[in-house]
């Protein structure tokens, strides 16, 4: 039975609540709250050997107790003189009223702190003080935890010290054959050493175990939404050369990357095996054109095709795009969405069932029970529709194992693609059509705000539209972050001649769609929003993207947002308001300013992240990494991948006793974090 965290001494109702905010409810949860780093407090020195600037432990006797001096009205200095056999040292605290009665002459303590010099005398300011013989956080390697409001380092350390006593009894859930094969440390050993390591070597061994565990569990969890069998028989497209009729009539010629991808798709469709392919390509790389060519081929081979979009707006846009592509080809495109009236739906069902509809474009409504296809052979879906086993079965039942093409506008590095899409074949469109102007990107500070507003004024007056994006703000945060609602009001006051729109996550879906529609129609000039702007929505007239508190966004998210502009002929601009002097922030902004290439940016993104700082992983449907860094730990990733495959081959649903522990962990991250489509 998992032990409630309140079982630990010192954790009452209130503290338990603070822990709960971090998702920590049980002692085990707490143990999995890993330190962000460690402090080496093993070095002990005699006072005489202490050198200014170093941080060490000293064992001392109190020579003269604390004396308080009030320097100014709000400045209290407390000093104590301590000594060992080699010398004396001053201990100093500022504005600490509590130390006064804590020490008696002759008491023995171990201090840990930075040695400084003040008027020629050695000094330690605000050291860690522990009674000799009762040392807990001196003389050893001490964990430092990511802090959260209300929980200090001290609280976390001492609560963890209590929790670690549970260790020794934890049940190992990585079977020993796997641990032996990959040299993975045992759970109890690793748990003790990830928090309170004997030395840094043990720490590294412990860390490796948890990285392996995290990646293994993640992959086992993800495999639940992967297809069981990707080598099923598929419909054969006899004539794939007819695609020429389509591509020859396009107003442009396909880029090499598009041609290569299209060939890969068509080869699959002729192979006799069912296709399961992911096409990755930046926004604007021409994925839709490739999909349209494949759909054309499906239809000309006598079949039906479907295209699924995550929202109604996108479905409408796709339907329009396809209708335009297929003008004069005799191909009939039919829409099907949830919001259509019953009569309209019934009509659509008829067209689909009789085969009059060659291509069906719509939302999830397409895979509802009432929809019957005449001969569905090819399905194009957005990344967000990664089908689980169940949907897959539903879809297969509507056709005869239709070929599946999944499109993703999120370029991701190979390591990540392998985790997420290990079961799919992947095509990459890593080239933009010629003549595209990269979005001009500038990272600016607050001092530039006036100029940026003037720039907005000028361009919007000239008929352009702009997005202004703010980060989502948690209620607990009290800072000077831009809040979408307030910013919209402010902008409306600054630009009374423009219509400012507002869109945020708390609005009802219907209202959001209305606002988006108004923006698409050009009635709204400036749209202020949190990141809910529809991915994929095309508003060619919007050519300015302003991102507030850009330091809050991950690189791939910034790139995705920027992808909303630059879809028309005019030069597009992206303005990043970034605050703070954080090095990583600086590098991120720099990367954005120098590159428009999604693959390059996502590589940089992976490099710049630290463990646990996996902001933006959710966008890929991944839970937050606690310890693994997908870039630095790619060797362990490869091992865990191999192990996951082996386990799945042996026991696909992890039903055996041997894997029951792993199954539980995999299930827990699914229910917590991974949205199953």
Stretch touching ligand ADP by CB under 6 A, among 251-259, 270-278, 602-610, 637-645: 251-259
Count, residues near Mg ion per rule CB under 5 A: 1
Q: Which is nearer to ligand ADP, 103 or 246 (CB)?
A: 246
CB of 281 to ligand ADP, least distance (A): 5
Task: List, edge to edge, every strand of the sheet that includes 304-308.
Answer: 333-336, 359-362, 304-308, 376-382, 399-408, 276-281, 425-429
Point out which residues pair with 440 in neighbouring strands.
Answer: 573
Residue 203 burial by Cβ neighbours in a 10 Å radius (0-12, 13-18, 19+): buried
CB of 602 to Mg ion, least distance (A): 18
Q: Which is nearer to Mg ion, 316 or 401 (CB)?
A: 316
Point out which residues pair with 381 in neighbouring strands.
Answer: 308, 406
* Cα–Cα distances in angstroms (integers) from residue 545 to residues 337, 462, 520, in the given order: 30, 16, 15
**In contact, 677 and 386? CB cutoff 8 Å:** yes
Give the strand pairing for 55-72 and 75-84. Answer: antiparallel
Instruction: Tell me which of ligand ADP, Mg ion, none is bound by residue 621, counting a contact when its beta carbon lies within the kind-specific cut-off of 5 to 8 angstroms.
Output: none
CB of 288 to ligand ADP, least distance (A): 3
CA 357 to chain centre: 39
SS3 of 388-413: the string is: CHHHHHHHHHHEEEEEEEEEECCCCC
Find the binder of ligand ADP among 207, 287, 300, 512 (CB under 6 A).
287
Cα–Cα dist 246/641, whole Å: 41
Q: Which is nearer to ligand ADP, 193 or 261 (CB)?
A: 261
Among positive and negative, which fits the CA dihedral 595, 601, 605, 607?
Answer: negative
Binding pattern for the stretch 142-161 against Mg ion, x by CB under 5 A and - elsewhere: --------------------
Assess 566 for contact with ligand ADP (CB under 6 A): no
CB of 557 to Mg ion, least distance (A): 18
CB of 536 to Mg ion, least distance (A): 5
Instruction: Tell me which of ligand ADP, Mg ion, none is bound by residue 289, counting a contact when its beta carbon lies within the kind-specific cut-off of 5 to 8 angstroms.
Output: ligand ADP
Structure tokens belonging to residue 611: 């463990």
Instruction: Tell me which of Mg ion, ligand ADP, none is bound by residue 94, counting a contact when its beta carbon lies within the kind-specific cut-off of 5 to 8 angstroms.
Output: none
Stretch touching Mg ion by CB under 5 A, among 73-81, 282-290, 519-527, 609-617: 282-290
Cα–Cα dist 503/390, whole Å: 33
358-393 in b/e burial notation, b at 16+ Cβ within 10 A? bbbbbbbbbbeeebebeebbbbbbbbbbbbeeebbe
Cβ within 8 Å of residue 673, ≥6 positions away: 618, 622, 623, 624
Find the binder of ligand ADP among 258, 276, 560, 596 (CB under 6 A).
258
Stretch touching ligand ADP by CB under 6 A, among 92-100, 249-257, 437-445, 467-475: 249-257
Assess 284 for contact with ligand ADP (CB under 6 A): yes
Q: Where are the beta strands (DSSP E) in 32-107?
A: 37-40, 55-72, 75-84, 87-94
**In contact, 316 and 370? CB cutoff 8 Å:** no
Stretch touching Mg ion by CB under 5 A, among 123-131, 281-289, 340-348, 642-650: 281-289
Assess 562 for contact with ligand ADP (CB under 6 A): no
Find the binder of ligand ADP among 80, 128, 141, 289 (CB under 6 A).
289
Binding pattern for the stretch 241-280 against Mg ion, x by CB under 5 A and - elsewhere: ----------------------------------------
Q: Which is nearer to Mg ion, 78 or 288 (CB)?
A: 288
Q: Quick check: helix, strand or coil at residue 359?
A: strand
Name residue, tokens 């020490």: 103
Q: Which is nearer to ligand ADP, 30 or 283 (CB)?
A: 283
The Cβ of residue 595 has, within 10 Å, a number of other Cβ atoms equal to 16
Name residue, tokens 């039975």: 1
CB of 659 to Mg ion, least distance (A): 41
Find the binder of ligand ADP among 247, 285, 427, 585 (CB under 6 A).
285
Cα–Cα dist 256/491, whole Å: 44
Cα–Cα dist 334/358, whole Å: 8
Find the binder of ligand ADP among 197, 281, 413, 554 (CB under 6 A).
281
Stretch touching ligand ADP by CB under 6 A, among 248-256, 300-308, 392-400, 633-641: 248-256
Q: Which is nearer to ligand ADP, 560 or 629 (CB)?
A: 560
CB of 535 to ligand ADP, least distance (A): 10
**Coarse DSSP helix, strand, coil percentages of the chain, rounded to the nearest 5 percent:** 40, 20, 40
Q: Which is nearer to Mg ion, 184 or 545 (CB)?
A: 545
Q: Quick check: helix, strand or coil at residue 378?
A: strand
Name residue, tokens 């000293």: 58
Interactions with ligand ADP, residue window 415-454 (CB under 6 A):
433
Instruction: Tell me which of Mg ion, ligand ADP, none is bound by residue 557, counting a contact when its beta carbon lies within the kind-specific cut-off of 5 to 8 angstroms.
Output: none
Name residue, tokens 């030069």: 571
Find the binder of ligand ADP among 5, 124, 257, 283 (CB under 6 A).
283
Instruction: Tell me which of ligand ADP, Mg ion, none is bound by residue 284, counting a contact when its beta carbon lies within the kind-specific cut-off of 5 to 8 angstroms.
Output: ligand ADP
Among positive and negative, which fits the CA dihedral 103, 107, 110, 116?
Answer: positive
Q: Which is nearer to ligand ADP, 133 or 251 (CB)?
A: 251
Assess 288 for contact with ligand ADP (CB under 6 A): yes
Give the strand pairing for 440-444 and 573-577. Answer: parallel
Assess 288 for contact with Mg ion (CB under 5 A): yes
Q: Which is nearer to Mg ion, 157 or 288 (CB)?
A: 288
CB of 576 to Mg ion, least distance (A): 24
Instruction: Tell me which of Mg ion, ligand ADP, none is bound by residue 531, counting a contact when its beta carbon lies within the kind-specific cut-off of 5 to 8 angstroms.
Output: none
Find the binder of ligand ADP among 59, 202, 255, 640 (CB under 6 A).
255
CB of 246 to ligand ADP, least distance (A): 13
Indicate the residue whose CB is closest to ligand ADP.
Answer: 286
CA 265 to chain centre: 29
| Site residues (vs ligand ADP, CB under 6 A) | 252, 254-255, 258, 281, 283-289, 409, 433
| Site residues (vs Mg ion, CB under 5 A) | 288
């Amino acid at each position: 039975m998992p032990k409630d965290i309140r079982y630990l001494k010192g954790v009452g109702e209130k503290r338990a609540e603070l822990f709960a905010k971090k998702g920590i409810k049980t002692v085990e949860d707490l143990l999995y709250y890993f330190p962000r780093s460690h402090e080496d407090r093993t070095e002990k020195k005699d006072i005489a050997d202490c050198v200014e600037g170093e941080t060490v432990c000293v064992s001392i006797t109190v020579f003269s107790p604390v004396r308080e001096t009030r320097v100014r009205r709000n400045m209290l200095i407390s000093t104590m003189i301590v000594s060992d056999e080699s010398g004396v040292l001053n201990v100093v605290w500022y504005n600490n009223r509590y130390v006064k009665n804590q020490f008696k002459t002759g008491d023995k303590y171990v201090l840990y702190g930075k040695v400084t010099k003040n008027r020629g005398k050695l000094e330690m300011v605000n050291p860690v003080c522990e009674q000799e013989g009762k040392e807990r956080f001196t003389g050893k390697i001490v964990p430092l935890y990511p802090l959260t409001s209300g929980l200090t380092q001290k609280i976390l350390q001492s609560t963890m010290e209590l929790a670690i006593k549970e260790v020794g009894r934890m049940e190992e859930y990585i079977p020993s054959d796997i641990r032996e094969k990959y040299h993975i440390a045992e759970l109890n050993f690793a748990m003790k050493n990830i928090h309170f390591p004997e030395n840094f070597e043990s720490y590294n061994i412990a860390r490796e175990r948890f990285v392996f565990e995290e990646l293994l569990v993640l992959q086992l969890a993800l495999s639940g939404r992967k297809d069981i069998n990707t080598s099923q028989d598929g419909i054969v497209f006899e004539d794939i050369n007819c695609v020429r009729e389509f591509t020859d009539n396009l107003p442009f010629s396909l880029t090499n990357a598009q041609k290569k991808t299209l060939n890969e798709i068509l080869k699959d469709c002729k192979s006799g095996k069912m296709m399961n392919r992911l096409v990755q390509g930046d926004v604007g790389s021409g994925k839709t054109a490739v999909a349209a060519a494949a759909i054309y081929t499906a239809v000309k081979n006598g079949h039906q095709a479907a295209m699924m979009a995550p929202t109604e707006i996108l479905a409408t846009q796709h339907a329009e795009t396809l209708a335009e592509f297929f003008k004069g080809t005799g191909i009939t495109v039919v829409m099907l969405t949830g919001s259509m009236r019953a009569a309209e739906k019934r009509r659509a069902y008829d067209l689909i069932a009789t085969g009059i509809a060659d291509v069906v474009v719509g939302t999830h409504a397409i895979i509802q029970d009432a929809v019957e296809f005449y001969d569905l052979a090819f399905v194009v879906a957005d990344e967000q529709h990664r089908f689980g086993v169940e949907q897959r079965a539903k879809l297969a039942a509507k056709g005869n194992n239709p070929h599946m093409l999944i499109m993703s506008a999120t370029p991701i590095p190979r390591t990540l693609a392998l985790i997420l899409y290990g079961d799919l074949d992947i095509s990459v469109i890593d080239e933009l059509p010629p003549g595209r102007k990269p979005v001009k990107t500038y990272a600016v500070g607050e001092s530039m705000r006036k100029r940026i507003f003037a720039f907005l004024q000028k361009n919007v007056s000239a008929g352009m539209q702009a997005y202004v994006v703010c980060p989502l703000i948690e209620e607990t945060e009290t800072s000077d972050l831009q809040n979408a609602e307030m910013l919209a009001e402010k902008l409306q006051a600054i630009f009374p001649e423009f219509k400012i729109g507002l869109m945020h996550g708390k609005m009802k879906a219907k209202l959001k769609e209305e606002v988006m529609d108004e923006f698409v129609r050009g009635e709204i000039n400036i749209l202020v929003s949190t990141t809910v702007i529809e991915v994929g929505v095309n508003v060619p007239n919007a050519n300015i993207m302003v991102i507030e508190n850009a330091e809050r966004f991950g690189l791939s998210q910034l790139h995705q947002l920027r992808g909303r502009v630059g879809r028309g002929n005019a030069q597009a601009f992206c303005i990043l308001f970034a605050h703070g002097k954080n090095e990583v922030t600086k590098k991120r902004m720099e990367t954005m300013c120098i590159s428009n290439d999604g693959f390059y940016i996502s590589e940089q993104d992976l490099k710049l992240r630290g463990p646990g700082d996996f902001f933006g992983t959710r966008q890929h449907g991944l839970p937050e990494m606690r310890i693994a860094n997908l870039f630095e730990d790619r060797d362990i990733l490869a091992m865990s991948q191999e192990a996951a495959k082996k386990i799945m081959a042996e026991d696909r649903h992890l039903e055996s006793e041997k894997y029951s522990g792993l199954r539980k962990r995999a299930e827990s991250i699914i229910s917590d974090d991974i949205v199953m489509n």
